[in-house]
Chain A
């Protein structure tokens, strides 16, 4: 069983939430399945200093950063093929809402990355299961917008310090 995981960078405030990313890989392994990691080959929206929450004057690539979580074993999302995957996971972190979509800035109006949308839609159309963690469900909801799906997605008020920009 192959389970695709789409990362959005490395670090909660500008990429994938690392704990959620690692626990996803661990849980997939514990289930006896194989994780296949993907990320879009695009620049991050921005880079955040995770101590101060301040933006840093540099550019980082989502795929290159996500490769840190995957220990280098990761594929360009352009190569995603739903026929070869049994399920899909979108871990959280603000990268999901800054790099995969623009939900963090524009809410549900924010555009979604075309490759991310295509990956989610192709899995949904093949009736293959999809999981979203934390911010991940917003990406799924955006991808399935105006499609004949009505996914229930958990919504909880964030109470943590969440630097948005």
Chain B
């Protein structure tokens, strides 16, 4: 991933990563061992953060 110039952060299924400067939100979801409820909550957090960045 870092070969593209991106930087990475380790996150758990209960966390998301927010880059306020570039307005990019990322979430691990099924990248790791996770159940469907955890993924739903992780997606919810990411979309809430995304919507919060819309002026």
Contacts and interface: CB of A to CB of B under 8 A. Distances in A.
Interface of B: 1, 3-11, 15-17, 19, 22-33, 36, 39-40, 42-44, 46-51, 53-54
Given A27-B48, A150-B22, 9 more contacts: A3-B51, A20-B29, A26-B40, A89-B50, A132-B26, A147-B5, A152-B6, A152-B17, A153-B9
Interface centre among B16, B29, B42, B48 (most CB of A within 10 A): B29
B43 A153 contact: no
Interface string A146-159: 11011111111111
11 contacts: A27-B44, A86-B54, A128-B54, A129-B24, A129-B25, A140-B26, A144-B6, A145-B5, A153-B6, A154-B16, A160-B33
A33 B50 CA distance: 11
Contacts of A158: 31-32
Contact of A156 (B3, B10, B49, B54): B10
B13 to A, nearest CB: 9
A12 B30 CA distance: 10
A33 B47 CA distance: 10
A127 interface: yes
Contacts of A147: 5
Given A19-B39, A138-B1, A145-B4, A154 B33 contact: no
A105 interface: no
B29 A17 contact: yes
Given A33-B51, A152-B9, A155-B10, A23 B3 contact: no
Contacts of A145: 4-5
A48 to B, nearest CB: 15
B50 A153 contact: no
